Chain A
Amino acid sequence: MKQAKAFAGARVQPKAVRCITNGRARLAVSCQAVEPKKILMMGGTRFIGLYLARQLVEAGHEVTLYTRGKKAITSQIADDTDWGYKKFASSVKHIAGDRQDFDDVRRKLSGSGFQVVFDINGREAVEAEPLLDSLTGRGGSLEQYIYCSSAGVYLKSDQMPHREEDAVDFKSRHKGKLETEDLLQRSGVNYTSIRPVYIYGPLNYNPVEEFFFHRIKAGRPICVPGSGMQVTQLGHVKDLADAFQACIGNPNAARQVFNISGERYVTFDGLARACAKAAGAPEPEIIHFNAKDFDFGKKKAFPMRDQHFYASIDKAQALLGWSPKYGLIDGLKDSYDKDFGLGMCRKPADFEVDDMILSKLGKRSYSYA
């Protein structure tokens, strides 16, 4: 066959095109030169704030943590170098107070000159009011109010992922966050609301990865409710800190809501496998059970809501110039290597629920220890 004559047409010189590889590596938050700000962080000693405060100080901002002071204002963490921690500990400032004492908050913050607020631990709208009262209005210094909300505000839907424009659920247990977002919006302040999904990483106090690591370490099977095909999403705490930081002085962040989490979604079964990989353990045995067949009392059988729960991050990627640095297994490995794999945990292992499930399903409980 005279192939060249099939179309009897012209010969075109193929242009040399630059082959741009299908690189998934993306620039993380670029260190844009943002002028130093006087920053107030509500909280900052537990999880998200630990990382965010360090990043902000390193970027040259003046950071003040507002906490009750029950916990040490600073303590060295696995990610710190000795020198870096010394610098951080000597730079970061503190206001001791109870944010639930609204008059006290107003007194302490009036005329304080804070330009940016990171409200990491606010749950109810009333908690944000004294901050707005004292920092905005005539002579107010506040330029931005950046709020840590939650993707838990979205109304459960058959169509996923959750996108920022989707319906929210004013009856959910996160309604306080919604009411805070609403207040911020009505107040006219330049606010940004960040909605994370499940956050994980070293020092996580929520038993997300901890649940799996306990069982993997004990050589126990992992009991997953339902089919294990529920789809969810984890976001590394350091990526979340990057996203918060990317909001400062960013006009695209003004009066916007952003979902922040990892780029890839994961099934419940997949998460069990991913944690095992991160821990350098063999593929775990996964046992499925029907939660309706059991009464676990007050104990939770599984750390995640039994439904599809994940959100699109493409708005933040497009508008904030942010993208997560961690993939799931890398991120879980980071959490394992710096925290849970070192024998630390927030809640000790409790396999009572597992044993109930295993015995009812006729499987013996065993341990490879």
Chain B
Amino acid sequence: MALAQLGSRRAAGVRVSARGHAVRGAASRRSAVVVRADKCLIVNTKGGGHAFIGLHLAKELLAKGHDVTIFNDGDQAKLSAKAPFKEYGSVRGLKVHWGSPVDYSTYPEGPFDVVYDNNGKDLDSCKPLIDAAKGMCKHYVFVASAGAYKANNIEPMHFEGDERKSSAGHVTVEKYLEAEGLPYTVFQPLYIYGPHTAKDCEQWFVDRIIRDRPVPIPTPGVQLVTLSHMLLLVTLSHVEDVASMLAAVPGNSAAIRQHYNICSDRQISFTGIAKAVGKALGKEPRIVLYSPEEVGTGKSGKAEGFPFRTIHFCASSDKAKRELGWKPKHTFLEDVPALVRDYTAAGRQHKDVDFSVDDKILSAMRVYA
């Protein structure tokens, strides 16, 4: 698509649509919200756990009266039949554009008031978009990841401002945003579940429990003799809650140059997930605890075949609650019955699942499926 040549247009100060009105609150960040219709661009990734954020964010923004374009990375022919991309066509008013965020010749027509980067993970993949957006947009939102936080061996919960891994690609991007003076906000999601995901989360548990197979759950790397029933905690967040926080940005200038964790305010243990799924299926899950180190399927926070890292992975979203007036509507426990119904409605219990890693673990633990 050729670059559109538009005459220079100076954006006026605060544009207020017929529907727009200024919202004044207490002397806090929330008093900076001005409601108006913005032209939003969501640059969306082609796979992985964040792929469906674009779809849900688009819906939220459209519902607020904004103009929304999704610029999706990847090959339209290959991807548009898959979740979540196959849903784009059913979203009224959504403009969809396929291309490559590192190739300007594929870029959609601007200008855009708000740009969401839900694609790049490092400077190479983010820089072209940042350079293009600089001077154009009023707000640049980077959907990063709470995975950039450094694990803390005293306090497991991540707060904004906590130390992050120096090697994290996201951190380099943020430094660039800062250096280039963009009006940016950084969001750090954790594990996300919900409709039309491209990546399994709780489905891993359903795969096993619905087939009456044992559920091998990794314990932190301790010796077999000290296995504990008390396991690692994760924060699982519903994609709609993630989307609603991201959609709170347009017009909220006080969010500029801030970081926010996006996650549920509840954590759940691995066994808690298994028990909740079992309850929804009316089955008692057969939980088999194992040490990935001992069995040889992983170490240092990784367990082959398991959907989560084997460390506590939780963060506080209190800052977003206080400053963005955001509240999560979902809790994972309440959502489990619906998630299980979605699984069975899609007929997944009849599909083949690769249990080879499970079998390796179970035989090492001398458990029979």
Whether A6 touches B153, Cβ cut-off 8 Å, given contacts A11-B136, A17-B256, A227-B220, is no
Whether A314 touches B132, Cβ cut-off 8 Å, given contacts A158-B272, A290-B226, is no
**A-B pairs with beta carbons under 8 Å apart, 8 shown:** A10-B10, A12-B138, A15-B253, A20-B254, A22-B161, A22-B259, A231-B312, A266-B155
Mark interface residues in B86-126 (1 if CB within 8 Å of A CB, else 0).
00000000000000000010011111100000000000000
> In the complex, which of the residues A9, A270, A317, A318 contacts B154, with contact meaning CB atoms closer than 8 Å?
A270
Q: Which of B136, B137, B183 has the most CB of A within 10 A?
A: B136
> In the complex, which of the residues A9, A161, A227, A270 contacts B226, with contact meaning CB atoms closer than 8 Å?
A227
Interface hits, B312-337 → A, CB 8 Å? 312, 318, 321-322, 331-333
Chain B interface residues toward A at CB < 8 A: 3-6, 8-11, 29, 104, 107-112, 128, 131-138, 152-157, 159-161, 181-183, 219-220, 222-223, 225-233, 253-254, 256-259, 265-269, 271-273, 275-276, 312, 318, 321-322, 331-333
Q: Please count how many residues in chain A sit with their CB below 8 Å of the partner chain's CB atoms.
A: 53
Of A66-74, A78-86, A304-312, the one touching chain B: A304-312
Judging by beta carbons under 8 Å apart, are A5 and B228 in contact?
no
Chain A interface residues toward B at CB < 8 A: 1-12, 14-15, 17, 19-20, 22, 24, 158-161, 163, 225-231, 264-267, 269-271, 273-274, 288-290, 293, 306-308, 312, 314, 317-318, 328-329
B residues near A5, Cβ cutoff 8 Å? 3, 5, 104
Judging by beta carbons under 8 Å apart, are A8 and B4 in contact?
yes
The chain B residue with its CB closest to the CB of A22 is B161
B residues near A329, Cβ cutoff 8 Å? 154
Judging by beta carbons under 8 Å apart, are B10 and A11 in contact?
yes
Judging by beta carbons under 8 Å apart, are A9 and B136 in contact?
yes
> In the complex, which of the residues A10, A17, A226, A274 contacts B136, with contact meaning CB atoms closer than 8 Å?
A10
Could you tell me the distance in whole angstroms from the C-beta of A230 to the nearest C-beta in chain B? 5
Could you tell me the distance in whole angstroms from the C-beta of B217 to the nearest C-beta in chain A? 12
Distance of A228 Cα from B29 Cα, bound (Å): 39
A residues near B108, Cβ cutoff 8 Å? 7
Judging by beta carbons under 8 Å apart, are B110 and A17 in contact?
no
Distance of A290 Cα from B5 Cα, bound (Å): 70
Whether A264 touches B10, Cβ cut-off 8 Å, given contacts A6-B132, A14-B183, is no
Distance of A269 Cα from B155 Cα, bound (Å): 10
A residues near B136, Cβ cutoff 8 Å? 7, 9-12
Distance of A203 Cα from B65 Cα, bound (Å): 58
Judging by beta carbons under 8 Å apart, are B6 and A8 in contact?
yes
Whether A314 touches B275, Cβ cut-off 8 Å, given contacts A9-B112, A12-B136, is no
Judging by beta carbons under 8 Å apart, are B275 and A10 in contact?
no
Distance of A225 Cα from B321 Cα, bound (Å): 35
The chain A residue with its CB closest to the CB of B233 is A231
A residues near B232, Cβ cutoff 8 Å? 229
Judging by beta carbons under 8 Å apart, are B111 and A306 in contact?
no
- Seed contacts A4-B135, A7-B133, A11-B8; 17 additional CB < 8 Å A-B pairs: A1-B104, A6-B3, A6-B104, A6-B107, A10-B6, A15-B183, A17-B257, A159-B332, A160-B267, A226-B229, A229-B228, A229-B231, A265-B157, A266-B156, A273-B153, A289-B226, A290-B227
> In the complex, which of the residues A10, A19, A273, A274 contacts B257, with contact meaning CB atoms closer than 8 Å?
A19
